[in-house]
Amino acid sequence: MFSTNNHEQLRHFWSDLKEAIAGTDRDFTKEPMGRAMFLLAVPMVLEMFMESVFAITDIFFVSSLGFDAVATVGLTESLMTVIYAIGGGFAAATTALISRRIGEKQADKAAVSAIQAIYTGLFFSVVIAIPGSIFARDVLSLMGGNSNMVSNMSGYTSIMLSANGVIMLLFIINAVFRSSGDATISMRVLFIANIINIMLDPCFIFGLGPFPQLGVQGAAMATTMGRGTAVIYQFYLLFAGKRRIHISFSQLIPDWKVMWSLVKLSFGGIGQSLIATSSWIFMVRIISGFGSSIVAAYTIAIRIIIFSLMPPWGLSNAAATLVGQNLGAAKPERAQQAIYMAAVLNVAFMGLISLLFIFSPQYFVQIFMHGKPVSQDAVICLRMVSYGFVFYGLGMVMMQSLNGAGDTVTPMIINFFCFWMLEIPLAWILSSKTALHEQGVYIAIVIAESIMAMTGLLIVRRGKWKTNII
């Protein structure tokens, strides 16, 4: 009997896994919570892995060009976090609106919200692209780039900033698919983008075959082309596909009322992302005072950490979708159940990953060293920041769940106090006023993220988010 039960459970697992990857039309407000979480989380986790592969791929190839090239990518990435913040803020608002409308069984209104989110994202991307392309050299210098980086490598910064629209649209449209329940589509979109980026990166960077040798600038070209192709595919699916969200040409007329509702809801999401990511810029600026080798080491360690955070982000996004859909279906207790289930899974996973990074960080750092001696600075950074992993996983679920409920202001306030009022001042004090130097920055990260997670948990337990109306 035991063997038969195990066989049956394994069969159900593989069946659900195939369905999660292939796509499903299940109603996530009625499915058992464990299955609903699994069907949404699997493609969302894979999607997050695909997103992180962009950064990993660029660093992998660029690291062979030297510390200045890696530092250029790192400093530019800190600038790009502003774009990620705006895109992420609109994605959070889009998730809240569309998941709520889907839970209410109003797919047409969900489609209208989707197109208004796209319009808004395009507007902001143009506002960023024009000055970004003109002042790329000045901004890179302001961020601490040396003369070689500013003179010879600022093309990377210019391309990434001027082509920010593809990133913005990728974020927003994938949020449309995820929050409607078509998480598999978001996964496939990023898979296509990554395949193109992986193939083009070495071609443009090193000048393989007929391609020009563009150095670090080639990495920006490859990434932009990969993401751009993915956005074209997204639009095809929105207009020609047969998914939960289908946009018709009659819905292309701007709806200022819906757009304004989206902007108001996005304010908290953009605010919390800008606060968090601008703190990232300040942290990189503090780190840059210790030299390009430390910036490069920090960039490598953080890229590894970001990659490890992708599964927790996927689970957190699944929780946000389930929260929104179940609140729309007037099932707040199921929404709370989704939050706690995702939190337990995240804490368990991040606990295991932290043990690997604490005890064997050098094995992960050496992947990016291309046969060179392992950077001990990167090893130290990876190990120290990993001590807070359990709290990172918990905090993600709390913040994303509040966003999914349509309460984007509370996470913004939490981010403000934890990052601006605590993390940045503490990082500066510990790194400049003590003998800890750059390690003081790593300690500040752990402290701030841990306090944020516990604050979020307390607010979720109070339950006011259950009555939020959007």
pLDDT above 50: residue 310:
yes
- Please check whether residue 14 lies inside any domain of the structure: no
**328-347 pLDDT per residue, tens:** 999 999 999 999 999 999 99
The structural domain count of the chain equals: 1
Please state the rounded mean pLDDT for residues 26-54: 88
Q: Which amino acid is at 23?
A: G
Please state the rounded mean pLDDT for residues 3-18: 78
Q: pTM for the whole thing?
A: 0.83
- Please check whether residue 221 lies inside any domain of the structure: yes
Contact 290, 428 (CB under 8 A): no
Give, in order, the Cα–Cα distances in Å from 13 to each of 25, 209, 449.
18, 45, 34
Per-residue confidence (pLDDT) for residue 5, from 0 to 100: 67
Please state the rounded mean pLDDT for residues 170-193: 92
Whole-angstrom Cα distance, residue 39 to residue 19?
7
- Please check whether residue 16 lies inside any domain of the structure: no
**131-157 pLDDT per residue, tens:** 888 888 888 888 778 888 888 888 888
265 pLDDT band, cuts 50/70/90, is confident
pLDDT above 90: residue 23:
no
Per-residue confidence (pLDDT) for residue 188, from 0 to 100: 92
Please state the rounded mean pLDDT for residues 296-311: 85
pLDDT above 70: residue 87:
yes
Per-residue confidence (pLDDT) for residue 49, from 0 to 100: 80
Please state the rounded mean pLDDT for residues 19-35: 90
pLDDT above 70: residue 370:
no
Whole-angstrom Cα distance, residue 133 to residue 437?
34
1 pLDDT band, cuts 50/70/90, is very low
Whole-angstrom Cα distance, residue 190 to residue 187?
5
Identify which of 279, 354, 345 has the alpha carbon closest to the alpha carbon of residue 314. 345
Please state the rounded mean pLDDT for residues 158-179: 93
Average predicted confidence (pLDDT) for the chain? 88
- Please check whether residue 7 lies inside any domain of the structure: no
Per-residue confidence (pLDDT) for residue 8, from 0 to 100: 77
User: Locate tokens 């601006």: which residue?
Assistant: 420
- Please check whether residue 301 lies inside any domain of the structure: yes
Sequence-ordered list of residues with C-beta below 8 angstroms from that of 365, at least 6 positions apart, any chain: 300, 301, 304, 374, 375, 378, 379, 382
Whole-angstrom Cα distance, residue 454 to residue 398?
9
Please state the rounded mean pLDDT for residues 258-267: 85
- Please check whether residue 121 lies inside any domain of the structure: yes
Per-residue confidence (pLDDT) for residue 30, from 0 to 100: 92
In 3-state terms, what secondary structure has residue 223?
helix
What single string gives the DSSP state of each residue in 387-401? TTHHHHHHHHHHHHH
Give, in order, the Cα–Cα distances in Å from 448 to each of 67, 357, 416.
29, 20, 11
pLDDT above 60: residue 14:
yes
pLDDT above 60: residue 2:
no
- Please check whether residue 15 lies inside any domain of the structure: no
- Please check whether residue 18 lies inside any domain of the structure: no
**50-75 pLDDT per residue, tens:** 877 776 787 788 888 888 888 888 88
Please state the rounded mean pLDDT for residues 411-422: 94
Domain range for 242 is 32-467
Please state the rounded mean pLDDT for residues 13-33: 89
